[in-house]
Structure 1
Amino acid sequence: MIDSHCHLDLAAFSNDWTDELQRAKKAGVTRLLVPGTQAGQWQQQQQLAKDASSIIPIDIALGAHPYFLHHDEDEKALVRQLDVAFEEAVIAPVAVGEIGLDSHIDVPIETQKRCLQVQLNFAQQRQLPVILHHRKSHHRLLEALTKVNRHYGGVVHAFSGSIEVAKAYIHKGLYLGIGGTVTYPRASKTRDTLAYLLHHFPGHLLLETDAPDMPMFGRQGKRSSPAYLLDVVQTMAALSEHSEQEIISFTTANYNRCFKGVE
């Protein structure tokens, strides 16, 4: 299993990240992707990937999450920071992210849109996929994607949306990250969409935990962990005709296509 979205570099894991990786490995996790959130964390991500290599391989992405943008963020300066970070990276980033739009935060949406657009353009120039964050912003995200002349795929992290929205992303060559939300029985609409996607578009789904956030059903109030990734697989199996092993197999292949360019 591959956890395509896990913030193992955050303070919540500072005292026991090695234990978390050992638990994840024991649970069947074979690789993680740690996305970027802000420039101050980019170096730490690379150090984590180096230090963890003897336990589980870690891929990284670098980007500026909308939550951490300044209200008057200079998007040109942000691109310069990214350019330097990618040039000096000791661990080659596999994507640009986590980037996106969030309607529930104080950062002005126009600031978010400018910073998203320059990072999408940066990813295009680097010929890299993107990791997209969304909260009440699907239509704006899709609009931003249409402004990029050519993009190299990526994933809509923690996807929750309608079948129509899912198809719109898929038709742009994007994958959809499936995480803890689907483990909740009350998330009936999200589960119905997932059941449809599992039947019609299994080749566009990735697994994720978003640890330490997005706790699984039955683990409310607890820090999420890549060790719980199997909870997502089990839910997907229950909603489809696929076995757990089939889901692990095709989501692993999907990850390698998305981030490694492996067909």
Structure 2
Amino acid sequence: MSNREIVSPVTDGVQPCASSPEEARSAGRTPYEKPTPQNSVMLLIDHQIGLMTSIRDFQSLATLRANVVGLGRIAKALDIPVLLSSSNAQWQNGDTIPELKELFPDEPICRRTGIINCYEDPSFRSALEELMARTGRTHVIIAGITIGTCTAMPTLAMLNDGYRVLPVIDACGAWNQYEAQAAMTRMANTGAELVTTFALGCELQADWKLPTAEAMFAPFLNDLPEYGYLIQNFWNNANGHTVEDPFGQVK
């Protein structure tokens, strides 16, 4: 007895929901207003050298760093506009981490000199409003170095002003687990859509047949090592089986 396979044609594209968000809302259902590379912007807030050292909710800063850099690489691969900001870089918080500066060498960094919530900083808000108006985008993806301050505070303010906000919770850190849990609860209860770096990457890519797939493969390969090594292991053994199987099981 064999299982019959149904293989979708490679010519198929992404099929949208049968109902529009407006129709779902009118019917009393939860609308799915999907983030896409065409409707989103990304805010990377206060990922600074000094502030990175204050994070306590990750077992290793290497994981947080990989998520932050991976998120930046996803934006770059999908051509999503990015706004960068730093807080009191002239003092203890330090400069923006070099990995983000290298990824976005042509992007200005809005250096706030005292205002904690980036959305309450007139220069940063002006840049965001100009970007949203010029591009017609509707979704704001945000990650800040501290989830309770750099992420939650602007998220709540932007929700108040009508933005659709997606905080990337694993590209944020916290001083302790209480801060992280309180911030996530507060944002979710107010209408933010909490996401994680590589799940969001899949949602944005949507179809690995799209032209952005090759560029999008890089953050998954380099910044999600659990998946990267799995892929490398497969290709290392595929076709030619460059690593000889001493047990003779690989045919």
Settle same-fold status: TM greater than 0.5.
Answer: no
Where is the helix percentage greater, Structure 1 or Structure 2? 1
- Whose relative contact order is higher, 1 or 2, with alpha carbons under 8 Å and at least 6 apart? 2
Question: Highest CA radius of gyration, 1 or 2?
Answer: 2
Name the TM-score class by shorter chain: 0.3 to 0.5
The TM-score normalised by the length of structure 2 is 0.35
